[in-house]
Structure 1
Amino acid sequence: MRRRLLSSTLLVAVIAVLLLGIPLGVAVNRLIEEEATQELSSQAKNLLQEVEYVRDKDQPIDDQQLEQKYPDRYIQIYARGTPDQLITVGAEPVENQKMTEDALSESGVYVVVSRDKTEVEREVRAWLFLILGLAAAALAVAVGLAIVQSRRLTLPLSDLAMIAERLGSGDARPSKHRYGIQELDRVAEVLDRSATRISDLLSREREFATDASHQLRTPLTGLTMRLEEIVAAAHEPSIVKEEGEAAIVQAERLTAVIDELLAAARRQRHAQTEVVELDALLDQQFIEWGPAFRRVGRRLKLAGTRELQALGTSGGISQVISTLLENSLEHGGGTVTVTTSDKDKSIVIEVADQGPGIPDDLAPRVFERNVSGGGGTGLGLPLARALAAADGGRLELVRPRPAAFAFFLRQVGDTGRNRVVSGPA
């Protein structure tokens, strides 16, 4: 990444220098040449006025005085009516290195002033070298800034990668590192929150395992003893009946303990719920699934009430909606309509398509594991219902043909616990 940052920054700097330096060099070249041309033109006009003045006074033209006044210039003066009609002053430059300007008066005086172009070219080269030096300095500054910036970005990213790897290895301690960069600080905050949540989940899992082993040990021991008594008294029907009834009681107690532990685990899961903005969540799902539907010539449609809020977890709700959209894509047909509504006691998200629906013999068992009528795994809907239940909601099949599923969520402010009426918890 550091090499890419350096190369991209250097490329941008080179492009900027070229875009600015080349026009600047051309402009400097033209400006210097125009200044030299204007200087020659001004000298030719001044010389013409001087020659006119001398002629008006009937004085001779002094070659030495002109050479001293216009050094490094080749002057040609043509004046009618003088003994020497053509007067030249100075050394004539080489033809291809000569810059020339002239002036003509009404009295017939013609003045030509020339200079060597080498001096102008030398001045142009000096300015171009200055521009090249400034460009090299700008590139050096850009490279230095790129190195500093790349270190500032790559070191925090390496640190974040180490933190993420540590989380993956099971060390769920928040790092609380901040880097002074808003985007990276947000990532660090998310990782810290995830670390806290993972730590809480691991703690609750350990507590659940401890509670389960402790609470289940006694009922299982009692059930084992009863079964041993049944085996030992197999030849006495009255004892078998009595011990069997006791074993049933022990089994019911075991079931009650399991239900209690699961209820406790659910209450801990509910403690992690938060207020979820459904509009943003559904928009994200439409963005993710829109291309897949468009590839098969189908479309997604969002209807119902907007700006709804519900209690749950963004990850759980997203997975449930994603599972329903995937089922509609694989097993449904036509337009898939996602409708949101606010009922008396729940926020409802309904996903319906225009396909052939679910067969009558499969509809009652659609939420059972390993049950699928379309060649699937039969795990998607059971897991989706489990996730819905974990957030305190429920997932139901409200219409088999065409298929329509309703996801019931808790309203904001609902502090109660919604009991799952069907399906796995």
Structure 2
Amino acid sequence: MRRRLLSSTLVVAVIAVLLLGVPLGVVVSRLIVDEAGQELQSDARRLLGEVEYARIQDEPIDAEQVARNYPDRYIQVYEGGNPPRATIVGTEPPAGSKMTADAHSESGVWVQVSRDRGQVEQDVRARLLLIVALAVAALAVAVGLAIVQSRRLTLPLRDLAMIAEKLGSGDARPSKHRYGIQELDRVAQVLDRSATRISDLLSREREFATEASHQLRTPLTGLTMRLEEIVAAADEPEVVREEGEAAIVQAERLTAVINELLTAARRQRHSQAAPIAIDPILVQQVTEWEPAFRRSGRKLMLDGDRGLRAMATPGALGQVVASLLENSLEHGGGPVIVTTSSTEKSIVIEVGDQGPGIADDLASRVFERHVSGGGGTGLGLTLARALAAADGGRLELLRPRPAVFGVFLLPVGQEEELGEAAEPGENGDGRNRAVSGPA
């Protein structure tokens, strides 16, 4: 591109120089020749006047004085008489071509002034050389400006091409480069906006993959536990049947989780919270997790008010409770009690154990993404809080030592508050991105 810019600029400059320089050279040549002829004619008239004045004064023409007054001229003066008197200034006429001008008077005086045309032509050549030198200088300036302009255009284009290549390879960081050229700056702005959108898409894809892997782990763990119970009770048909049915329920729950994740990934997940009874969900979770706690030598108990109803999504609430139970199983200690209660504004589900709790430096950051105090993924509490927020509720750390988490749900009859709670947050997806803790 740089070569094309240079060649096109040079062609335009040459054409402009020719269009201006050739007519200028012709005009200058004619002006110099015409000026020389007018000068000779003026010399002839002035000399004629001097001769006429000398005749009136009855004085002879002083050839030396005329030669000093008209240098580089070949002069012939003829005065009337019989024979006429001739005065010649310059012993030899100009060699080669010459320019001549003459003048006549009524008294019979004739004056002829000549000069060498070569001197005029030399002057013309000097002026033409000056024009050619100026033309060459103009071409040099044009080439220099073309080089500067080509660099100013090609370097940003190369930079934009590199940015586009990085964008295509997955490096979606906006460059923020601006070049002072309106068209190129507009292209750079479009690339920056595209980079931002691609970065957001990639971030959402990575978050979806992370959340999917984490949320699927909990139901898979439950399914594994049911299958282990089936294997352990192979000699007891009734137990095998019960555990098999529980495994089927767990598999159906796993399918529901996958559907919820896919819906959220397509950004079509709006809150579908409806009035539900929370007892069946809590009983299901306690039933699924009780064998795991029993193998660990710990107890899992359900306590509190029964028959409570709240605004929630069964799958999402089950995921929140399962994440809290898994968190307590891995990082807590002693018996775990799931307690339910109600107030005028909330239905509260508390999950607490008698373990060492959460360190002081992590208590304030327990819901931050990728923050874990026990070698976990740091996603469980993040996703649990996001699911609770999507249904208009919230998940809070009520006590760090021993750890007690509380799920606050809207009671039935306060559906109008759900729309406000589900408004898009900082990430624009309708979920609060308060991130994980020890899970």
Aligned length: 268
Gap change, CA 1:116 and 1:269, over 3 Å in 2: farther
Are positions 1:170 and 2:147 aligned together?
no
Deviation string for 1:121-150 (max 9, x for gaps)? 111111122222222222222222222222
Partner of 1:88: 88
Q: Aligned Cα RMSD in Å?
A: 3.8
- Aligned equivalents of 1:88 and 1:176: distance in 2? 87
- Greater C-alpha radius of gyration: 2
SS in structure 1 of the partner of residue 266 of structure 2: helix
Moved more, 116-125 or 143-152: 143-152
**Quick one: distance in 1 between partners of 2:203 and 2:93?**
99
Q: In 2 relative to 1, CA 255–94 (structure 1 residues): closer, same or farther, beyond 3 Å?
A: same
SS at match of 2:267: helix
The equivalences for 1:18-417 within 5 A come to: 18-81=18-81, 83-90=83-90, 91-95=92-96, 97-216=97-216, 247=248, 253=253, 256-267=256-267
The letter of the residue matching 2:102 is D
Deviations along 1:339-391, one digit per CA (max 9) or x if unpaired, are: xxxxxxxxxxxxxxxxxxxxxxxxxxxxxxxxxxxxxxxxxxxxxxxxxxxxx
Answer yes or no: is the 8 Å Cα contact 2:5–2:150 preserved in 1: yes
Query: Offset of 1:254 from its aligned partner?
Result: 5.4
Instruction: State the match for 1:365 in structure 2.
Output: none
**In the aligned structure 2, how far is the partner of 1:243 from the partner of 1:206?**
35
How far apart, CA to CA, are the structure 1 residues paired with 2:66 and 2:98?
Answer: 19
Q: Which runs of 5+ in 1 are unaligned?
A: 271-414, 417-425
Q: What is the identity, as a one-letter code, of the residue corresponding to 1:94?
A: A
| Paired residues of 1:220 and 1:254 also in contact (CA < 8 A) | yes
Shift of 1:211: 2.8
Q: Give the alignment's TM-score, normalised by structure 2.
A: 0.52
Q: Report the secondary structure of 2:113's partner residue.
A: strand
Q: Which amino acid aligns with 2:138?
A: A
Structure 2: gaps (5+ residues): 271-422, 425-439
Contact 1:77 1:109 (C-alpha < 8 Å) held by counterparts: yes
CA distance in 1, matches of 2:9, 2:191: 30
Q: Give the TM-score, by structure 1 length.
A: 0.53
Corresponding letter in the other structure for 2:43: Q
> Aligned-pair distance for 1:82?
5.3
By how many angstroms is 1:151 displaced? Answer: 2.3
Provide the secondary structure at the position in 1 that maps to 2:35.
helix
Compared CA separation, residues 268 and 45, structure 1 to 2 (3 A): farther
Shift of 1:37: 0.9
Q: Is the Cα–Cα contact under 8 Å of residues 226 and 244 in structure 1 kept in the other structure?
A: no
1:174-223 CA distance string (max 9 Å, x none): 22223333332322222222222111111111222233334445667888
Deviates more, 1:14-23 or 1:196-205: 14-23
**Match in the other structure for 1:392:** none
C-alpha distance in 1, partners of 2:250/2:103?
Answer: 126
Q: Distance in 2 between matches of 1:172 and 1:40?
A: 81
Shift of 1:98: 0.6
